[in-house]
Amino acid sequence: MTKQFFDDYDDERRQLARQLHGAAAQQLAALQLNLSLIASATETLPERAAKALAQSSELAQACAREIRAVSDRLHPPLLEEAGLPAALRALAAEFSCKLAADFPEEIEPIPPRIALGAFRIVEELVLDSDLRENATIGLSHRPQTLSISIAGVGKIRDSAQERIRGLSGSLSQRKDTITIELPLRVAES
């Protein structure tokens, strides 16, 4: 796998997320509106029909939430809107991971390609871990390097290693802690 492969893959995920949000989510919103209009216009529905209408509305809401979750997983909007620390905080909260004590509130801007790559690497490690509730994510930023540590996870998959190599990064593992160093200048080339 190459750097270009991951760039293309991430672009495709971004497009799929936009299509999901733009088409299916909009159609579900229209369906929810129609169901609300029907519910408000029909005061005396038989009990069975009223129950079916309420269930249909709940199903439409659940589908909308699921589409939003899938869309966000395909391309996390928080990464672009608020940066890598905020996106990793949300990921940690979603999967009940801990954040290291030195996890920064904010850091210097990270090139978008590096931020997305770092997010995907952490996401893969956390999703693959059977022990994700015990995982601790750490993040530090030095002038030319982003350092990520993840404690409490097992083996790193080949795809994550390829992504790290594609970003000219390095990987080390000591017991159950994985440390990834990513140079920030790679995105400029």
DSSP assignment of 52-69 equals HHHHHHHHHHHHHHHHHH
pLDDT digits (tens, 9 = 90+) for 28-45: 889 999 998 888 877 778
Render pLDDT for 122-139 as a digit per residue (tens, 0 to 9).
888 887 766 566 788 888
Same domain, yes or no: 115 and 183 = yes
- Number of domains into which the chain is organized: 2
96 and 46 fall within a common domain: no
- Residue 183 confidence (pLDDT): 93
One domain, residues 15 and 90: no
Which of residues 74, 98, 115 is at a domain's end? 74
Give residue 68's domain range. 3-74
Tell me the two tokens of residue 149.
Answer: 């540590």
Contact 86, 123 (CB under 8 A): no
Predicted local distance difference test score (pLDDT) of residue 182: 93
Whole-prediction pTM value?
0.72
Residues 82 and 67 in one domain: no
